[in-house]
Amino acid sequence: MASASSSFLLLLLVVVASASAWCSRAAPAGAQVTRVPGFGGAQLPSKHYAGYVTVDEAHGRRLFYYLVESERDPAKDPLVLWLNGGPGCSSFDGFVYEHGPFNFESGGSAGSLPKLHLNPYSWSKVSSVVYLDSPAGVGLSYSKNVSDYETGDLKTAADSHTFLLKWFQLYPEFLNNPFYIAGESYAGVYVPTLSHEVVKGIHEGVKPTINFKGYMVGNGVCDTAFDGNALVPFAHGMGLISDDIYKEANTACQGNYWNGSSDKCEQALSRVDTAVQGLNIYDILEPCYHSKSIKQVIPQKSRAPQSFKDLGVTGKPLPVRTRMIGRAWPLRAPVKEGRVPSWQELAVAAPSGVPCMSDEVATAWLNNDGVRSAIHAEPVSSIGPWLICTDKLDFRHDAGSMIIYHKNLTSQGYRALIFSGDHDMCVPYTGTEAWTTSLGYGVVDSWRPWFTNEQVSGYTQGYEKGLTFATIKGAGHTVPEYKPQEALAFYSRWLAGSKL
């Protein structure tokens, strides 16, 4: 009996010590965000921290982060790093428009401070989330040496790994939390390459040791051939092109649509392009408004639209973005080895003229002097205005196909969730489904619907080695923006190790 009492007391002391360690916090002085301009609530549902981590002292290369602690149990809940794509787009896109702690309401006039309301589907309900602007030059991240803006996949991954190692030194209380890396679109490259760097660091004994468990990618680019060949079968399956147009293209191109090798193939593909050119590439269900003018962006390069992510009518309660996108990214144009053009270049070069896009809410908030001060970001006068997608970078895709990265990571036991909004025509689910199948893993959870509130929310298939593929029914390119409730559902289940 005495032995049992001693064991209980020892266990109690361990629990108390752990709780005390968490409460004693090691967060850097001055990093806590104590007020959020635009939010009128009595208090935040969890603690927020923000600031810079210098990844290159000599160059003054600094990456900006915003941490939202879990509203449930930050001491035990997973920690997730979120990356938006581009390349060159700020992760505040995810914070403002997708799964951040707030829903943003326009202030009522151009440039006025938006009103912030709590988001019932924030991913901070079940996890702590770090939103990272990467690489330097994106969002609120910057370098004092402009040569750093010539970058690419591998340098971005190395810098982000350096960021993580230094960040965990600043926040050692999170070292024991399960850690995941997540992102969408061009983060289909960012996420696997950074995951690779993290795992390599773990194997090499780099300290601190990151408790990395897995990663997730939404509507992410992966492989030149798989991505480039996805559109035609997608368009046919969605009823956007006829059987005759599909058969003509399939016969003439022999299934190789992204790199047509004959005049007949190009002619057949031009019929496909003509049939779908009036659609919103990021969500074929949503309107596409065309305009003859492109709004001028000041003070950076003139007549360049501010982003590429104005997507479609959202499931969120506050419709804060006007969807005016069209076809900024060329159809059947996968990311290839070499220089990746900026979204602004692609938009300006579009043959019909792609209209400007409305990111006024995020832009007004992040360029407000009070907001910059509250979140510990450098002022506009120092680093310039925040743009959702920058045109500062000279970016190169130099990591090759992501398939080898996915094979390497999953074969080592790291879990992976690959999800697709099934109405995205930019990175169609058909290509993603094809490359996940190509890995050759056995099926352990056969194709089936998954549900939210007893309604079909999409379809999923589970594979060996912890790989899961899922679609989200009716969602576009940025899934949580279109289907926030369903996104929180699959996110929560996957993090918990449950089936979708």
Q: What is the DSSP letter of 477?
A: S
Which entry of 91, 160, 424, 457 is annotated as an active-site residue? 424
Instruction: Count the neighbouring beta carbons within 10 Å of the beta carbon of residue 200.
Output: 12
- Report how far apart, in Å, the C-alpha atoms of 24 and of each of 53, 139, 171, 173, 479 are: 22, 32, 11, 9, 37
Instruction: Count the neighbouring beta carbons within 10 Å of the beta carbon of residue 408.
Output: 14
Alpha-carbon distance of 341 to 368, in angstroms, equals 29
Which entry of 161, 196, 376, 477 is annotated as an active-site residue? 477
424 classed as catalytic: yes
Q: Give the CA-trace dihedral at 434, 438, 441, 447, to 10 degrees.
A: 20
What's 378-412 look like in SS3?
Answer: CCHHHHCCCCCECCCCEEEECCCCCHHHHHHHHHC
Which entry of 122, 143, 185, 420 is annotated as an active-site residue? 185
223 classed as catalytic: no
Instruction: Name every residue whose Cβ is closer than 8 Å to that of residue 240 and which is 6 or more positions away in sequence.
Output: 275, 276, 279, 284
* Strand 455-463 versus strand 443-452 pairing type: antiparallel
What are the contacts of 232-236 at 24+ separation with CB within 8 A?
232/257, 232/269, 232/272, 232/332, 233/428, 233/430, 234/425, 234/428, 234/429, 234/430, 234/431, 235/272, 235/275, 235/276, 235/425
Bridge partners of residue 418, in order along the sequence: 217, 469
477 classed as catalytic: yes
Residues with catalytic function: 185, 424, 477
